[in-house]
């Protein structure tokens, strides 16, 4: 269910119209000190509203449904499945500044597997929302565990937060790392070490 159709304190939440969104952007341009009527800004409200639709398209996705179709013809394969270096593009819910990084996802199949593109789409479905990294990490891991019921799930997220690099303390070159380990990845140190070794191989610099 789309978050906008739910209610907060009994008050239904409805999505504003395109015109209302554009008017809100004009207000922000005025507040910033510019004139939304000048030539360079005339179409900015429309462009920003369109960009927001793309940046926050995750609200229209159901991550559970993305994992609904799985495959049982795996010839007994039960070793680790790892998808490494999934690009993360999200937005900080505190300052609405970009969060750019990468996500590493792994699971231990229990009789069935899912198409690897679906794992990347789950990352996008949660990433394309207002987020904090800790919550995002848990959401991805918990959803995979709940739908696929594997023997274990591991998610590691490395990201640069521009609410920290372009404002406030202005600390560049700093990335945040979060992880969520479930099942075999939490209980078995050797499985966890194997996963960490696999995602560290060929590691580059997080962009942002």
Active site residues: 92-95, 133, 161, 163
How far apart CA 74 and CA 78 sit, in angstroms, is 8
Contact indicator for 97, 163 with CB cutoff of 8 Å: yes
How far apart CA 188 and CA 167 sit, in angstroms, is 41
Phi, psi of 183 (to 5 degrees): 60, -130
How far apart CA 177 and CA 133 sit, in angstroms, is 9
* Nearest to 158, CA basis, from 95, 191, 207, 202: 207
Contact indicator for 88, 100 with CB cutoff of 8 Å: yes
Residue 103 tokens read as 């996500």
Cross-strand pairs, 76: none
Which helix (H) or strand (E) segment holds residue 196: the answer is helix 189-200
The residue assigned the tokens 């794992």 is 119
Contact indicator for 173, 206 with CB cutoff of 8 Å: no
How far apart CA 170 and CA 173 sit, in angstroms, is 10
């Amino acid at each position: 269910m789309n978050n906008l159709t739910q209610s907060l304190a009994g008050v239904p939440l409805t999505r504003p119209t395109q015109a209302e969104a554009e008017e809100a952007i004009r207000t922000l341009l005025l507040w910033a000190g510019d004139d939304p009527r000048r030539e360079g800004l005339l179409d900015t409200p429309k462009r920003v509203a369109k960009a927001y639709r793309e940046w926050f398209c995750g609200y229209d996705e159901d991550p559970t449904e993305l994992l609904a179709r799985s495959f049982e013809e795996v010839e007994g394969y039960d070793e680790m499945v790892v998808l490494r270096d999934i690009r993360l593009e999200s937005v900080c819910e505190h300052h609405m500044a970009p969060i750019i990084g990468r996500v590493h996802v792994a699971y231990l199949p229990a009789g069935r597997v899912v198409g690897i593109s679906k794992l990347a789409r789950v990352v996008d479905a949660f990433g394309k929302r207002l987020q904090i990294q800790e919550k995002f990490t848990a959401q991805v891991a918990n959803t995979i565990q709940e739908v696929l019921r594997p023997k274990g799930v591991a998610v590691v997220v490395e990201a640069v937060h521009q609410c920290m690099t372009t404002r406030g303390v202005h600390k560049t070159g700093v990335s945040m790392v979060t992880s969520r380990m479930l099942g075999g990845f939490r209980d078995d140190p050797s499985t966890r070490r194997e996963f960490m070794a696999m995602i560290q191989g060929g590691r580059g610099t997080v962009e942002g």
